[in-house]
Homo-oligomer: A and B are copies of this chain.
Amino acid sequence: MIRHTVSFSLVHPAGSDAEAEFLSTGARTLSAIPGVESFVVSRQVSAKSEHAFQFAMTFADQATYDAYDSHPDHRGFVATRWEAEVASFQELDLVPLTPQ
């Protein structure tokens, strides 16, 4: 099991329609890709990070993760939206060491 997370900030003003539209389109597009489980959009509220949001999702295994990564809907979202609208981001891939 791999929990993939990406925290990020957008170029859009906080509370703007463009911000809301990015989040909803991202969630709808990415969560529909085969193999994506437990998709969550969160607001990042710690002052210790510059990021305002996080997408998080779970893959059963590395092969499922790889299929997501190369899926046209993922590649398309990155190319047409992410690269233009995300100001900064940090990815983490987490494999639990303790029982869930």
Contacts and interface: CB of A to CB of B under 8 A. Distances in A.
Interface residues of A, number: 29
B7 A44 contact: no
- Chain A facing B: main interface SS: strand
A67 B62 CA distance: 38
A2 B96 CA distance: 19
A89 B12 CA distance: 27
Given A42-B97, A49-B91, 8 more contacts: A4-B46, A7-B92, A27-B98, A40-B100, A41-B96, A45-B95, A46-B92, A51-B92
Interface of A: 2-4, 7, 23, 27, 39-46, 48-49, 51, 54, 56, 90-98, 100
